[in-house]
Amino acid sequence: ALIRKRLVIGNWKMHGARPTNATLLTGLCAGVGVAHNCEMVVCAPFPYLGQVSGCLHGSGIGWGSQDISKHQQGAYTGEVSASMLSDFGCQWALVGHSERRSFHCETDQLVAEKAAAALGAGITPVVCVGETQAEQEAGLTQEVIRRQLQPVLALGAESVAKLVIAYEPVWAIGTGLTATPQQAQDVHAFIRAQLTELNVPQVRILYGGSVKASNASSLFAMSDIDGALVGGASLVAEEFLRIAAS
């Protein structure tokens, strides 16, 4: 059987400044040894990607963007294309984060197109899915996840094999509420079943939503949880490293 390497991705969101970034990145580089067997990636705001790439060079820690355009080039003011990112060695991109879906009206179809654009430039898209609290309370979790994944899975096995999926229940993002390991596992197993049906069971599925050093191990103990997408706790080097070491 293929082994799915553990992966922990930090999403800085719209946080950072050059001096604090430098402290954080230096801390990550110094401590990366504690997290052997775990791949680490930092997703920073666009203006800081150059700094991140420079500081992480040679550390083994990857870096990526928090969004990517579905367009290749042209009159799309404010957008950043996959080829521009790969021009600078970017290897990862978050797509369809719930904050982009809710504040920027990103649809399931657009998210799939962004994933395809990333793949076209050799960038690994981390496709985020997750239900809102109202949807969860209405028992619609599986229906929502299936709908969000549908256009992504429609890209075909060859493409899907190269991406990563992050399950982030919206009610758990930045709220301090974490899904229980069993709640998360149940959704991960549901996603895994669809990947298996497509013949790509080895695709990694990350959990996201208030992951901290104190709850990471119990989440990572579940059979279909392959790592984490971490927001708040990725802004402190020691905390992020402890998650990756879990």
158 is catalytic: no
Residue type, 55: C
97, 106, 113, 239: which one is catalytic? 97
Q: Is 70 annotated as a binding residue?
A: no
Q: Is 92 annotated as a binding residue?
A: no
Q: Is 231 annotated as a binding residue?
A: yes
97 is catalytic: yes
Q: Report the residue number, 39 or 161, with the smaller CB distance to ligand PEP.
A: 39
Q: Report the residue number, 15 or 162, with the smaller CB distance to ligand PEP.
A: 15
Structure-derived torsion over alpha carbons of residues 7, 205, 114, 150, reported in degrees to the nearest 10? 170
Q: Report the residue number, 227 or 231, with the smaller CB distance to ligand PEP.
A: 231
Residue nearest to ligand PEP (CB): 231
Residues lying near ligand PEP in the complex (CB under 6 A) are found at: 11, 13, 168, 173-174, 208-211, 229-233
Residues 6+ apart with CB under 8 A from 77: none
Burial class (CB in 10 A: 0-12, 13-18, 19+), 132: middle
Burial class (CB in 10 A: 0-12, 13-18, 19+), 33: exposed
- Distance of alpha carbon 142 from alpha carbon 150, whole angstroms: 12
Q: Is 120 annotated as a binding residue?
A: no
End-to-end CA distance of the chain: 23
Q: Report the residue number, 200 or 208, with the smaller CB distance to ligand PEP.
A: 208
- Distance of alpha carbon 59 from alpha carbon 32, whole angstroms: 7
131, 168, 188, 239: which one is catalytic? 168
Smallest distance, ligand PEP to C-beta of residue 2, A: 26
Catalytic (active-site) positions: 97, 168
Binding residues for substrate: 11-13, 174, 210, 231-232
Binding residues: 11-13, 174, 210, 231-232
